[in-house]
Amino acid sequence: MTHTLSPRTVVVLLLPLAALLALFFLWPLGLVGWSSIHDQGYTLRGYEQVLGSSLIRRVLVNTLQISVQATIFSLLLGYAIALHLASMSPARRAPYLVMVMLPFWTSILVKSYAFTVVLGDSGIVNQLLGWISGGTWHLEMMFNRIGVVVGMTNYLLPFMVLPIMASLLNQNRSLYLAAEIMGAGPLRIFLRITLPLSLPGVYAGILMSMTLSMGMYITPAVLGGRRDMMLANLIDFYTRQTLDWNLSSAIAILLLLMSGLLLWALGRIQRDGRAPA
Amino acid sequence: MKKHDLQHHSHATGVRSGTRQDGGVTRRTVLKAAAAAAGAGVAGWAPFVRAQSRTLTVTCWGGAYETAVRKAFAEPFAKEKGVGVTLVNSADLTRMKVQVQSKNVSWDVFDSIGPQIMAGSREGLWEDFDASRIDGKELVLPPGKDHVSTYFYAGGIGFDPKRFPEGKHPTTFKEFWDVARFPGRRGLRSRPNENLEMALLADGVSPDALYPLDIERAFKSLDRIKDDVRKWIETTPETVTLLATNELDFTYTYLSRVLPAQRGGQSVQMSMTQTLNSFEYLAVPKHGRNTELAMEYVAFCLRPDRQAAFCEMVEFAPNVTAALESLSAEARQRIPDMKDPNSIIIDDAWWGEHYEALQRRFTEWMLL
């Protein structure tokens, strides 16, 4: 039973959302675009600085590196968790899902500070290692890249687990049975059926993780070392400290372009992946 | 009219606190602004506005600071002038700029640190001060054209006296730089101001010949300590919490953070042998609705008795030297002796001109 809505109804139903987006998303975004080319008159100074500055280039490379690293780790961890969750009965899954969601509901600032207790010189991990080995451990896991990637992976996990789990749960169970009857082992079933069919969830997870981590701000500030500055930290600096909105808008537009490019690239991969089927 | 009276009454009896931020653009404020603008030509700007809205909005930083500002400045001012004073927390310069640009200003007095006030000054956000109002007082730091300092806060080397007793911790910046004599994990702020001063003092520049800063020499000196700095601290509270959690041994921190932490039971101390003193300023934004009243408030805050009352409650030092005399011995003891050449005054005017370029260079330097 499918309802068909008249075009007029569709327009009326979409209007509130469209108005909301226009007012709270497109309009501010337009203002950012405007101030990136306007500072008491038209100017391309912001973009010139973005393109010409070695600082911004270096921070851009940092941002991409950290985002990719954090996304890879959360993909590996997230996939394993999603696989495990998907194999459970719904009743058993519920409490585990809450555990996945719990950090999702916690403020990122709180989580970042909490990690200083875990990763620190006299933190839980180092103490545990010392207790096990009977010596003292001073693994440097904080104020460097490790700290940033651990903190961000923790933040990104739910965004990876949920879409992957959804696409795993959507798979037709009779495919596994058929494969098993035909003599395929667990690894073969995973590689030939489970993994390919879960790719839409993987893409969605990667996309969300990459876009979220490119705008990350608190985690690198709290857990990072001096080399772990990201673009959002620069935007914050130029917006609030020096009031150079022209430059900060230009950096923001650069960040937006990169996210857009990513969206486009993943869309391409997804489409090409589907094409032969 | 009845409604207005009621509201003003409530403002006058108790200073309203809270996090009301921009105040919002209510119909009333718009009408009032329009009426004020219309009236300006006829009745003269200041008296008319004062009659219209007898409540002053001052930005603030919350916590113990807010309590002290309320008790020392806001409440007595409200009582004396018969107006309400609203303290607004989490104010920042970005929103102040938007308010001034849109000529819809809901904060009458802006209370902030040097870099912010200087950036605002550069952008032309502040109203010029009437020099005669503040004149005639002996200030540690004389007033600027469009801003004046109310107090200053000392920064220096923080450490845990239990882990590093007398003689085991650095007391001057020269010693802070001496990693061979004082081994330990160090923490500095992730910004050029204060760091460049420290670097030069560590390199042997005499305190009275600090400004204008020798930038090249400062960065060379910073190179020496770069790898021994475990954390370039982003937020101020971390300058003491990272000592408490034993993640750092020596940090650049502030007396106003160390003393409350001590009272809270933390084993932490700050060396007073050499201090960098930064100033907090008040400025009055342009296009304000209560400009005249705001100026009166600023002058009120610089009264020696108010300065003393304020510095009795929080760990800051008064900008008005006359206030020192009426301070308790206990409060006077923690205030750095400004006649000591080792009590350095951060030159915010110099930083105002160089901050942006130096922050960029400093950040690049950190990334290398």
Chain B contact present for A52, CB below 8 A: no
Mean pLDDT in residue range B334-347: 88
Mean pLDDT in residue range B294-323: 91
Q: Which residues of B touch A136 (CB under 8 A)?
A: none
Token readout for A77 is 């961890």
Residues 6+ apart with CB under 8 A from B302: B134, B137, B139, B148, B150, B319, B320
For residue B325, what is the DSSP state?
G
CB contact under 8 A, B246 and A143: no
Q: Is the pLDDT score of B215 beyond 90?
A: yes
Question: What is the share, in percent, of chain A residues with pLDDT greater than 90?
Answer: 33
Rounded to 5 degrees, what are φ and ψ at B184?
A: 160, 160
Q: Which residues of A touch B231 (CB under 8 A)?
A: 143, 225
CB contact under 8 A, B359 and A222: no
Candidates A59, A226, A243; nearest CB to B123:
A243
Chain B contact present for A222, CB below 8 A: yes
Are the C-beta atoms of B85 and B74 separated by less than 8 Å? yes
Give the confidence band of B53 by pLDDT, cuts at 50, 70, 90: low
pLDDT score, position A2: 59
Q: Which residues of B touch A244 (CB under 8 A)?
A: 356
Q: Which residues of B touch A62 (CB under 8 A)?
A: 367
Q: How far is A224 from chain B (nearest CA, A)?
A: 8
Greatest mean pLDDT among A169-173, A225-229, B284-288: B284-288
Give the confidence band of A275 by pLDDT, cuts at 50, 70, 90: low
Residues 6+ apart with CB under 8 A from A184: A192
Are the C-beta atoms of B297 and B58 separated by less than 8 Å? yes
Q: Which residues of A touch B366 (CB under 8 A)?
A: 226-227, 229
**Structure ipTM:** 0.76
Alpha-carbon gap, residue A209 to A78, rounded angstroms: 11
Task: List the beta strands (DSSP E) in B131-245.
Answer: 148-159, 186-189, 229-233
According to DSSP, the residues that pair with B158 across neighbouring strands are B251, B270
Question: What is the share, in percent, of chain B residues with pLDDT greater than 90?
Answer: 58
Q: How far is A50 from chain B (nearest CA, A)?
A: 13
Give the confidence band of B135 by pLDDT, cuts at 50, 70, 90: low
CB contact under 8 A, A122 and B190: no
Rounded to 5 degrees, what are φ and ψ at B130?
A: -80, 105
pLDDT digits (tens, 9 = 90+) for A157-166: 999 999 999 9
Contact map slice: B 172-191 vs A, CB within 8 A: 185, 190
Q: Is the pLDDT score of A248 beyond 50?
A: yes
Q: Which residues of A touch B97 (CB under 8 A)?
A: 243
Contact map slice: A 18-37 vs B, CB within 8 A: none
CA B253 vs CA A130, B199, B277: distances in Å: 31, 15, 11
Give the confidence band of B136 by pLDDT, cuts at 50, 70, 90: low
pLDDT score, position A273: 66
Closest CA to B159 of B87, B244, B259, B223: B244
Token readout for A149 is 């990637």
| Test the A interface: residue of B186, B234, B243, B365 with most A CBs within 10 Å | B234
pLDDT score, position B76: 95
Q: Is the pLDDT score of B106 beyond 80?
A: yes
Candidates A53, A58, A243; nearest CB to B119:
A243
Nearest chain A residue to B367 by CA: give it.
A227
Question: What is the share, in percent, of chain A residues with pLDDT greater than 70?
Answer: 97
pLDDT digits (tens, 9 = 90+) for B216-258: 999 999 999 999 999 999 888 889 999 998 899 999 999 989 9
CB contact under 8 A, B367 and A243: no
CB contact under 8 A, B229 and A226: yes
Candidates B92, B231, B363; nearest CB to A55:
B363
Mean pLDDT in residue range A46-63: 87
* Single-letter residue type at B27: R
Nearest chain A residue to B118 by CA: give it.
A242
pLDDT digits (tens, 9 = 90+) for B264-303: 999 999 999 999 999 999 999 999 999 999 999 999 999 9
* b/e per residue B151-177 (b: at least 16 CB within 10 A): bbbbbbbbbbeeebeeeebbbbbebbb
Q: Which residues of A touch B245 (CB under 8 A)?
A: 116-117, 120, 122
According to DSSP, the residues that pair with B59 across neighbouring strands are B88
pLDDT score, position B131: 72
Chain A contact present for B235, CB below 8 A: yes
Helix, strand, coil fractions of chain B, as percent rounded to 5: 50, 15, 35
For residue B169, what is the DSSP state?
S
Closest CA to A73 of A259, A233, A213: A213
Closest CA to B299 of B278, B271, B319, B313: B319
Give the confidence band of B30 by pLDDT, cuts at 50, 70, 90: very low
Q: How far is B186 from chain A (nearest CA, A)?
A: 12
Mean per-residue pLDDT of chain A = 88
Alpha-carbon gap, residue B99 to B160, rounded angstroms: 44
pLDDT, greater one: A246 or B29: A246
Chain A contact present for B287, CB below 8 A: no
pLDDT score, position B339: 82
pLDDT score, position A166: 93
pLDDT score, position B35: 46
Rounded to 5 degrees, what are φ and ψ at B40?
A: -55, -45
Alpha-carbon gap, residue B189 to B232, rounded angstroms: 5
Q: Is the pLDDT score of B20 beyond 70?
A: no
Chain B contact present for A172, CB below 8 A: no
pLDDT, greater one: B3 or B148: B148
pTM listed for this prediction: 0.77
Q: Is the pLDDT score of A276 beyond 80?
A: no
Mean per-residue pLDDT of chain B = 84
pLDDT, greater one: B339 or B264: B264
Candidates B119, B232, B245; nearest CB to A226:
B232
Mean pLDDT in residue range B328-357: 88
Nearest chain B residue to A124 by CA: give it.
B245
pLDDT score, position A17: 92
Chain B contact present for A258, CB below 8 A: no
Q: Is the pLDDT score of B62 beyond 50?
A: yes
Helix (H) or strand (E) holding A174: helix A173-181
Give the confidence band of B13 by pLDDT, cuts at 50, 70, 90: very low
CB contact under 8 A, B94 and A58: no
pLDDT score, position A274: 63
Mean pLDDT in residue range A169-196: 89
Are the C-beta atoms of A217 and A236 separated by less than 8 Å? yes
Mean pLDDT in residue range B304-333: 89
Mean pLDDT in residue range B317-323: 90
Q: Which residues of B touch A241 (CB under 8 A)?
A: 115-116, 119, 355, 359
Q: Range with the lowest mean pLDDT among B12-26, B253-267, B344-358?
A: B12-26
Chain A contact present for B93, CB below 8 A: yes
Contact map slice: B 190-219 vs A, CB within 8 A: 190
pLDDT digits (tens, 9 = 90+) for A107-123: 888 888 889 889 988 88
Mean pLDDT in residue range A250-275: 83
pLDDT score, position A165: 94
Q: How far is A195 from chain B (nearest CA, A)?
A: 39
Candidates B234, B247, B356; nearest CB to A121:
B247
Exposed/middle/buried for residue B71 (C-beta within 10 Å: 0-12, 13-18, 19+): middle
Q: Is the pLDDT score of B36 beyond 50?
A: no
CB contact under 8 A, A116 and B115: no
